[in-house]
Amino acid sequence: MAPHSSPSRALKAQIRAEALARRDALSPEDRADGARRAAETIAAMPDLARAPLVGAFWPIRSEIDPRPLIERLFARGQRVALPKVTKQGLVFREWRAGEELVKGGFGLSEPRDDLPPLDPTALIVPLAAFDRAGQRIGYGAGYYDQAIERLSKNGPVLTVGIAFSVQEVAAVPAEPHDRPLDHLVTEQGPVPLRQG
């Protein structure tokens, strides 16, 4: 059976659609408040505070907004890199407050191409759905799994998934290439993850 038509891919697509519908149903006020609360929790993580360069993302659609977190990172002197989708996968480039972003594929806002690629040691990871084993469902292209694998070749990479609590599911049908996250945070605080 071709990978794109495997049963777990179909199940993931269904779970993704249902979780995103729940996320879309949140009010703009709840999303903004949730983003602020999640930012406070993540900013308080000692491991994240030690990362000199944090890979974050610019929100699309109804994603939880990481910009309140990015502001906190800047305020304490940390550097932030944002991803660009390329044929080779995600490339991270440093972004400074106020710098203009360019339009990329998938409706993304990305750093300019003339900035040098950098490798973050911590990643704030977007997602469509998650479970308490630290597994996530992204948007289906595998960019973050590939990026985490690539960056891990340089040494440990701290991964922090950020989402709304309505995106939690009982179980994500994990595939061999899926990489569990180190931490998951919602507007309700840290999500206790099951070990193993």
Q: Is residue 147 part of a domain?
A: yes
Question: Hey, what amino acid is at 64?
Answer: I
Written in H, E and C, the secondary structure of the chain is CCHHHCHHHHHHHHHHHHHHHHHHCCCHHHHHHHHHHHHHHHHCCHHHHCCCEEECCCCCCCCCCCHHHHHHHHHCCCEEEEEEEECCEEEEEEECCCCCCEECHHHCEECCCCCCEECCCEEEECCCEECCCCCEECCCCCHHHHHHHHHHCCCCCEEEEECCHHHECCCCCCCCCCCCCCEEEECCEECCCCCC
Structure confidence at residue 8 as a pLDDT band (50, 70, 90): confident
Tens digits of residue pLDDT in 95-144? 998 888 888 776 678 888 888 999 999 999 999 999 999 999 998 788 99
Q: What CA–CA distance (Å, rounded) separates 80 from 180? A: 22
**What is the number of domains present in the chain?**
1
Q: Is residue 22 part of a domain?
A: yes
Question: Which residues are registered as beta bridge partners of 137?
Answer: 129
Q: Is residue 196 part of a domain?
A: no
Tens digits of residue pLDDT in 52-108? 999 999 999 999 999 999 999 999 999 999 999 888 899 999 999 888 888 877 667
Q: Is residue 195 part of a domain?
A: no
Q: Which domain holds residue 169?
A: 3-190
Q: Is residue 49 part of a domain?
A: yes
Picking from 161, 26, 3, 143, the residue whose alpha carbon sits closest to that of residue 85 is 143
Here the CATH number for the domain that contains residue 153 is 3.40.50.10420
pTM: 0.92
| Sole residue written with tokens 């990489």 | 179
Residue 196 predicted with pLDDT over 60: no
Q: Is residue 62 part of a domain?
A: yes
